[in-house]
Structure 1
Amino acid sequence: MPNPSVLQFGTSRFLQAHADLFFAESMPDARPVTVVQTSGDARRAARLAALAKGYQVRIRGLVNGVPTDTVQEVSSIRRGLSFEADMAEVQDLAQRVDIILSNTGDTGFSPTPADAKPDLCPKMSYPAKLAHLLHRRFRAGARPVQIMPTELIRNNGTQLRHLVCQAAADMGKEYHDWLCHEVVWVNSLVDRIVSQPLYPAGAVAEPYALWAIQDQARLTVPCIHPAVQVVPDLGVIERRKLFVLNLGHSLMVSEWLEKGRFGPVHVRDVMQDADWAARLRALYKDEVRPAFVLAGEAEGLDDYIETTLGRFANPYLDHRLEDIAQNHAEKLDRRIGAFLSWAQAHGDSGPKPKLRAALQGQIE
Structure 2
Amino acid sequence: MDRLGRAALSTLAAREGATLPPSGWSSQDIGIVHFGIGAFHRAHQAVFTQDAYAATGDDRWGICGVTQRSDAVKRQLAPQDGLYGVLERAVGHTGVKVVGSVREVLFPAEELDAVLARIAAPSTRIVTLTVTEKGYRRDADGRLDVADPIVAADLAGGRPASAVGRLVRGLQARAEGCDLPLTVVCCDNLTDNGTVLRRLVLDFCDAMPQGGDLRDWIESHVTFPCTMVDRIVPATTPDDRELGRQVLGLGDEGLVTAELFKQWVIEDRFSGERPAWELAGAQFTQDVAPYEAMKLRILNGTHSTLAYLGALRGHRTIAESVTDPELVGIARALIADDVIPVLKRPDGEDLEAYGASVLERFANPALAHRTTQIAMDGTQKVPLRLLGTVRDNLALGRQPHAALLGVAAWMAYLASAEGAGGLALPIDDPLADRLESEVRGCSDPARVVDRLLDVHEVFGDDLPGNDAVRGELVEDVARLLR
1:186-233 Cα shifts (integer Å, max 9, x gaps): 222322221134542130111222222223364655422455222222
1:243 aligns with 2:297: yes
1:102-153 Cα shifts (integer Å, max 9, x gaps): 223455433514313447x2x4322222222222222224311111122333
Percent identity between matched residues is 24
Number of matched pairs: 350
1:27 aligns with 2:53: yes
Identify the residue that residue 107 of structure 2 maps to in structure 1: 82
Q: How far 1:84 moved relative to its partner?
A: 4.2
> Partner of 1:164: helix, strand, or coil?
helix
Cα–Cα, structure 1 residues 171 and 68, in superposed 2: closer, same or farther, change >3 Å?
A: farther
1:312 aligned residue (362, 366, 381): 362
Q: How does 1:162-173 map to 2 (within 5 A)?
A: 162-168=199-205, 169-171=208-210, 173=212
Q: How far 1:334 moved relative to its partner?
A: 5.4
Q: How far 1:72 moved relative to its partner?
A: 0.8
Q: How far 1:332 moved relative to its partner?
A: 6.1
> Partner of 2:299: helix, strand, or coil?
helix
1:147 aligned residue (184, 188, 193): 184
Identify the residue that residue 18 of structure 1 maps to in structure 2: 44
Letter in 2 for 1:229: Q
Identify the residue that residue 196 of structure 2 maps to in structure 1: 159
Identify the residue that residue 189 of structure 1 maps to in structure 2: 228
TM-score (norm 2): 0.62
Distance 1:352 1:116 in 2: 42
> Partner of 1:194: helix, strand, or coil?
coil
Letter in 1 for 2:234: S
Letter in 2 for 1:215: D
Which stretch of structure 1 is more off in the superposition, 316-325 or 97-106?
A: 316-325
Which stretch of structure 1 is more off in the superposition, 41-50 or 234-243?
A: 41-50
Which stretch of structure 1 is more off in the superposition, 18-27 or 246-255?
A: 246-255
Distance 1:217 1:356 in 2: 39
Letter in 2 for 1:183: V
> Partner of 2:235: helix, strand, or coil?
strand
Say whether the 8 Å CA contact 1:189–1:212 is kept in structure 2: yes
Identify the residue that residue 166 of structure 2 maps to in structure 1: 129
Distance 2:272 2:178 in 1: 20
More strand by share: 1
> Partner of 1:59: helix, strand, or coil?
strand
Say whether the 8 Å CA contact 2:77–2:83 is kept in structure 1: no
Q: How far 1:284 moved relative to its partner?
A: 3.6
> Partner of 2:367: helix, strand, or coil?
coil
Say whether the 8 Å CA contact 2:126–2:274 is kept in structure 1: no
Letter in 1 for 2:351: L
1:252-304 Cα shifts (integer Å, max 9, x gaps): 356557xxx44643221233345654564466445544444xx5569421221
Letter in 2 for 1:17: A
More helix by share: 2
Cα–Cα, structure 1 residues 40 and 355, in superposed 2: closer, same or farther, change >3 Å?
A: closer
Letter in 1 for 2:258: A
Identify the residue that residue 419 of structure 2 maps to in structure 1: none
> Partner of 2:316: helix, strand, or coil?
coil
Higher-RCO chain (CA-CA 8 Å, sequence separation at least 6): 1
Q: How far 1:311 moved relative to its partner?
A: 1.3
Identify the residue that residue 175 of structure 2 maps to in structure 1: 138
1:102 aligns with 2:152: no
Q: How does 1:172-251 map to 2 (within 5 A)?
A: 173-197=212-236, 199-216=252-269, 218=271, 220-222=273-275, 223-251=277-305
Identify the residue that residue 49 of structure 1 maps to in structure 2: 78
> Partner of 1:27: helix, strand, or coil?
helix
Q: How far 1:156 moved relative to its partner?
A: 2.9
Letter in 1 for 2:286: P
Letter in 2 for 1:94: I
**Alignment RMSD, CA only?**
3.5
1:58 aligns with 2:87: yes
Identify the residue that residue 266 of structure 1 maps to in structure 2: 317
Distance 1:247 1:105 in 2: 16
Cα–Cα, structure 1 residues 43 and 265, in superposed 2: closer, same or farther, change >3 Å?
A: closer
Cα–Cα, structure 1 residues 252 and 92, in superposed 2: closer, same or farther, change >3 Å?
A: closer
Letter in 1 for 2:350: G
TM-score (norm 1): 0.79
Say whether the 8 Å CA contact 2:317–2:368 is kept in structure 1: yes
Say whether the 8 Å CA contact 2:316–2:372 is kept in structure 1: yes
Q: How far 1:44 moved relative to its partner?
A: 4.0
Cα–Cα, structure 1 residues 105 and 68, in superposed 2: closer, same or farther, change >3 Å?
A: same
Which stretch of structure 1 is more off in the superposition, 87-96 or 353-362?
A: 353-362
Cα–Cα, structure 1 residues 274 and 164, in superposed 2: closer, same or farther, change >3 Å?
A: closer
Distance 1:7 1:190 in 2: 18
Cα–Cα, structure 1 residues 52 and 278, in superposed 2: closer, same or farther, change >3 Å?
A: same
1:6 aligns with 2:20: no
> Partner of 2:234: helix, strand, or coil?
strand
Gapped regions of structure 1 (runs ≥ 5):
none
Q: How far 1:26 moved relative to its partner?
A: 1.8
Identify the residue that residue 73 of structure 1 maps to in structure 2: 98
Say whether the 8 Å CA contact 1:23–1:31 is kept in structure 2: no
Q: How far 1:326 moved relative to its partner?
A: 5.4
Q: How far 1:78 moved relative to its partner?
A: 1.9
> Partner of 1:248: helix, strand, or coil?
helix
